[in-house]
Chain A
Amino acid sequence: MNDGVNGVALAVFIFFFLLVTAMGFLAARWRRAANEHSLDEWGLGGRSFGTWVTWFLLGGDLYTAYTFVAVPAAIYAAGAAGFFAVPYTILVYPLIFTFLPRLWSVSHKHGYVTTSDFVRGRFGSKGLSLAVAVTGILATMPYIALQLVGIQAVLDVMGVGGGENTNWFVKDLPLLIAFGVLAAYTYSSGLRAPALIAFVKDTLIYIVIVVAIIYIPVKLGGFDEIFASAREAYSETNPATGAPRGSLVPSEAGQWTYATLALGSALALFMYPHSITATLSSRSREVIRRNTTILPLYSLMLGLLALLGFMAIAAGVKVSNGQLAIPQLFENMFPAWFAGVAFAAIGIGALVPAAIMSIAAANLFTRNIYKDFIKPDATPRQETQVSKIVSLLVKVGALAFVLTMDKTVAINFQLLGGIWILQTFPALVGGLFTRWFHRWALIGGWAVGMIYGTVAAYGVASPTQKHFGGSAKEIPGIGEIGYIGLTAFVLNIVVTVVLTFVMRALKAPEGLDQTRPEDYTADAGDPGVKAELPPATAGSAH
């Protein structure tokens, strides 16, 4: 990569890192409520965030450092196929407009902290809720690990990642420090820390993108030049496959893959525990609907960011690891100080989602494994304590994962995680609108989807990998290449519907539904829905 350390860039990076560290610890005092020892306080920021905080929090949460590195990296590698991230994020908002407010209302009314809490309350099934919780934790862990990969890429390009010859401890020390600090302030401040830091992160990201999208094309001779050199680069034959490297527009055959990836990813995004954590922390139902109208600003930014992949080609960036393409582009094109700002944006961009994800995974463990199966009489204080400790363990686990295993393992698992998390959709979104599905049928559909998705993904080979070589495969019965997650999801629904008829015929017990129809439309201020939940209901409503 780059010999020697980029001193100016590193100094700017460290400045911003220290700034957000201070903010992270001070966040504990921000809007502190009286009952700071409840899971609602630590894990959901007191459910008090308004439109703008929620906007920053969700943006900081969904558009992670890995996204910023991986989306342009995919464009850099193969062209059009990587752009599916844009239609994907376009489809997310109309989708969540319809179901998230219902989830917010019912969760607020019953004190649910996680999606599994809701599933258990709705279907009266600890087994189904356990399946949803385990899927959520499994899908989140590699996602956290990938945030580390994002930080590593930035550190590498700045020259502090260490070369191949340095001893592993020196090499990984910067990463260890960054994560130690992250773990400490998440532990003490909970969800308030990433909420506050998200302001800095998004401001930096917006500045960097606006500058990059104007400054770099001017230096490279305009978009005409950029796309001309990209077209040329994609037409070169890849020695590994014997086919062209990529294309500027998806081929006829690639269109199914493109559309199914966009739709499948859009359906999956708000099944992730960290998206739900950020949603439930908002103050009212209207905050969520209003957010679906302002969140697309991030999609626009993502589209512009994706174009950086073409710029990296035009600028002659040559990296063997595609993940380094964008950091390297910044290093080559920007003056050192602004490269530092850009690196800080990516680095902090990793810290915010990593914090929220670890909190979300910890909440799932505490509420749906610890409280349901290990210690049913846990007090709110004990729940919070367990959550805090688990959030630490989750991060240590992710760190160990990244340091001991090959990066491709984390990427493979994240790919699988996306397929898996989509399989919780019927129970969660289905449950928000109807109680028609039978709880055991939902478990059956989930299991079939999980197994099919895993087996199918295992069987995908690529020139560099024998297994988990990609997320698209021939759709049985249609013959087109499509996203495995979506195929598994369709299979899941078919099995769920068929089994529901079977269970009905067998008169299998339905389970108790704690919710009532009006709970799904309740808003803060309605009778029985308090603006801020008192600690007692937060811990014991179920």
Chain B
Amino acid sequence: MVTPVRVVIALCLVAPFVAMLWVGSYAKTDPVFIGIPFFYWYQMLWVLISTALTVVAYQLWQRDQRARSASKGGASR
């Protein structure tokens, strides 16, 4: 069943693929950050971004599951 929450979860999980596989968007040296070329710090920044996105997906998923089992008859999970 496609619900808005599940669409958001899917987007959170797909975003890192789009960002990382589109190498042309970050294959450049500038802007440099504390001496590190863009290419490197941008990808490391994405480690943090994708982690945050996975956390959001995880939280939403748990809420979604709880809501579903509650509607099925009040069991906690």
Binding site for B on A (CB under 8 A): 80, 83, 86-87, 89-91, 93-94, 97-98, 222-227, 248-250, 252, 255-256, 258-259, 262-263, 289-290, 292-293, 296-297, 299-300, 303-304, 307, 523, 525
Contact B17 A91 (CB under 8 A): yes
Neighbour of A296 across the interface among B29, B35, B39, B50, CB < 8 A: B50
B: interface residue count bin: 20 to 34
Given the contacts A262-B20, A303-B43, A93 and B27 also touching, CB distance less than 8 Å: no
Complex Cα spacing A98 to B13, Å: 9
Most buried by B among A80, A98, A249, A300: A249
Contact B50 A90 (CB under 8 A): yes
Contact A290 B58 (CB under 8 A): yes
Contact B77 A289 (CB under 8 A): no
Given the contacts A97-B13, A262-B21, A293-B55, A87 and B46 also touching, CB distance less than 8 Å: yes
Complex Cα spacing A385 to B64, Å: 44
Listed by A's residue number, 13 A-B pairs whose Cβ atoms lie within 8 Å are A86-B47, A90-B20, A94-B17, A94-B54, A94-B57, A222-B35, A225-B35, A226-B35, A255-B27, A290-B58, A297-B51, A300-B48, A303-B40
Contact B51 A293 (CB under 8 A): yes
Contact B14 A94 (CB under 8 A): yes
Which B residues are CB-close (under 8 A) to A86?
43-44, 47
Contact B44 A248 (CB under 8 A): no
B2 adjacent to chain A (CB < 8 Å): no
Complex Cα spacing A94 to B54, Å: 7
Contact A87 B54 (CB under 8 A): no
- Shortest CB-to-CB span from B35 to chain A, Å, is 3
Complex Cα spacing A299 to B47, Å: 7
Contact A250 B27 (CB under 8 A): yes
- Shortest CB-to-CB span from A116 to chain B, Å, is 27
Besides A91-B17, A94-B54, A293-B55, 18 new A-B residue pairs in contact (Cβ under 8 A), listed by A number:
A80-B27, A87-B43, A90-B16, A93-B50, A94-B50, A94-B57, A97-B54, A98-B13, A249-B27, A249-B29, A249-B37, A250-B27, A250-B39, A290-B58, A293-B58, A296-B47, A303-B44, A304-B44
Complex Cα spacing A48 to B76, Å: 22
Who on chain A is nearest to B14 by CB?
A: A94
Residues 18 to 44 of chain B near chain A (Cβ within 8 Å): 20-24, 27-29, 32, 34-37, 39-40, 43-44
Who on chain B is nearest to A228 by CB?
A: B35
Contact B57 A97 (CB under 8 A): yes
Which B residues are CB-close (under 8 A) to A256?
23
